[in-house]
Structure 1
Amino acid sequence: MAYADQKMSGNKLTAFIVVLLLHVFLLYALVTGLAYEAAKKVINKVTTVDIKEEVKKEEPPPPPPEQPKVEAPPPPVAPPVKINVATKPPPINTVSVAPPPAPVIALPAAPVAPPPAPPPPKGPTRAPEPRNNPGDWATTNDYPSRALREERAGTTGFRVTVGTNGRVVDCVITSSSGHADLDEATCKNVSRRARFKPALENGQEVQSTYSNRIRWVIPD
């Protein structure tokens, strides 16, 4: 066992020496190569010289000599052309031809209107007529007392509307006596007492008007 250990220790020592020698050799080679490369660069820098050729600048050619200006000849002017405007126009012959007459168109005659129908037969026409005496419509007994005391008199005109039944429908004063109480008494008494035959028109009783006057006289 001791022999084996000694043998292995000798082998390790040999291997270590070999490795050490290899490292020394590599270090030497590396240092030598780097020194060679540095020396080579220094030699190239010293021996290399850049020589630049001077480039001559080309001078521009001189300008051409000025030539005298030659004026262009004026454009040709043609003389104006004479135009004879006094030419005689060709004669124009006008022929007046009357247009042909328009054709006559016969229009049909208008139909004759029938004669108007005869008016319907009219019956008897009559204005309203009093049935009683108009003198009794207003008497001295109807004299307004104040007008009587003051001895006022006058004539009042009136117009009444007579209905189909013969009675007075309305009364209007057409001319005043000059006294309002006498005019009022006139319409009041006539409307109350007057009776009429109604007016007729085409045989029919119709409403119409009747006019008259009342004279107011102070009794003796």
Structure 2
Amino acid sequence: MAYADQQMSGNKITALIIVAILHVVVGYALVSGLAYSAFKKVKEVTSAVKIEEDKPPEEPPPPPPKQDTPPPPIVAPPPPISFNAPAPQVQAVTTPPPVAAPAPVVLPPAPAAPPPPPPPRFQPKGAAPKGNPGSWATSNDYPSRALREEREGVTGFRVTVGTDGKVVDCQITKSSGSPDLDEATCANVRRRARFNPATDGEGNPTTGSYANSIRWVIPKD
């Protein structure tokens, strides 16, 4: 405020000095008879000089409020890049010498096949029955119980013939369904059957076998 009062007082002093000069000029003009010319000059001087009241200086506007700006993000520095890469290791590879091919295996020649046996002097023959096999069992040999019960059937058998042509063993290969008929079959064959014995390639008698069957049928009166 003191600076503004001092500036205003200076302006007033200047105005008073200008007014005093105007009075001197007007007095001089009146004396010299140039009142009209002086009046015009005074008017020009008055219009040229415009005394304005000093205005107090405007206060600068307050600074804008500071905005709370978020702090910049913290960026971690990139990890240091190491250029000290280990040098590649060079390994010497020794190439093994080529493997020699194995020698071919030479198999010994196969032994010569033995010579075939000489052909037999005689054709081997099986045991053959003497006479009619149908006579080995007759209606008179029919078991009495099976006859009363009127049971019939077929019994298969196999006999072993010795070197003398007689039956050594008898086995039932197919049952008639009646045990007494099967038993009568072997009993009659052992008693009545006779054979020419079997012979080998030398013509000598040997053991043979013979198979057949007997049909048991009730006789008609």
1:207 aligns with 2:207: yes
Relative to the length of structure 1, the TM-score reads 0.53
Give the deviation of 1:107 after TM superposition: 5.5
Aligned to 2:40: none
SS, match of residue 187 in structure 1: helix
1:117 aligns with 2:115: yes
Equivalent-residue separation in structure 2 for 1:150 and 1:93 (angstroms): 106
Relative to the length of structure 2, the TM-score reads 0.53
Aligned to 2:95: 97
Equivalent-residue separation in structure 2 for 1:152 and 1:117 (angstroms): 59
Provide, for residues 126-158 of structure 1, a one-character-per-residue CA deviation record: whole Å limited to 9, x for no partner. Answer: 221111110100011111222222322211111
Equivalent-residue separation in structure 2 for 1:216 and 1:104 (angstroms): 78
Provide, for residues 171-214 of structure 1, a one-character-per-residue CA deviation record: whole Å limited to 9, x for no partner. Answer: 11111112222111111111110011112232332212211111
Equivalent-residue separation in structure 2 for 1:158 and 1:106 (angstroms): 63
Q: From the superposition, tell whether residues 115 and 179 of structure 1 become closer, same or farther in structure 2 (CA, over 3 Å).
A: closer
Measured on the aligned residues, the alpha-carbon RMSD in Å equals 2.6
- Which shows bigger deviation, 195-204 or 184-193? 195-204
Aligned to 2:216: 216
Equivalent-residue separation in structure 1 for 2:109 and 2:166 (angstroms): 54
Aligned to 1:50: none
Opposite residue 118 of structure 1, the aligned amino acid is: P
Aligned to 2:164: 165
Equivalent-residue separation in structure 1 for 2:126 and 2:218 (angstroms): 33
- Which shows bigger deviation, 93-102 or 204-213? 93-102
Unaligned runs of at least 5 residues, structure 2: 1-83
Aligned to 1:128: 127
Q: From the superposition, tell whether residues 205 and 101 of structure 1 become closer, same or farther in structure 2 (CA, over 3 Å).
A: same
Equivalent-residue separation in structure 1 for 2:198 and 2:181 (angstroms): 29
Aligned to 2:76: none
Unaligned runs of at least 5 residues, structure 1: 1-85
SS, match of residue 151 in structure 1: coil
Q: How many residues align?
A: 136
Q: State how 1:70-85 maps to structure 2 within 5 Å.
A: none
Of all paired residues, the percent bearing the same amino acid is: 55
Equivalent-residue separation in structure 2 for 1:192 and 1:169 (angstroms): 11
Equivalent-residue separation in structure 2 for 1:90 and 1:152 (angstroms): 107
Give the deviation of 1:112 after TM superposition: 3.8
- Which shows bigger deviation, 149-158 or 111-120? 111-120
Opposite residue 218 of structure 2, the aligned amino acid is: I
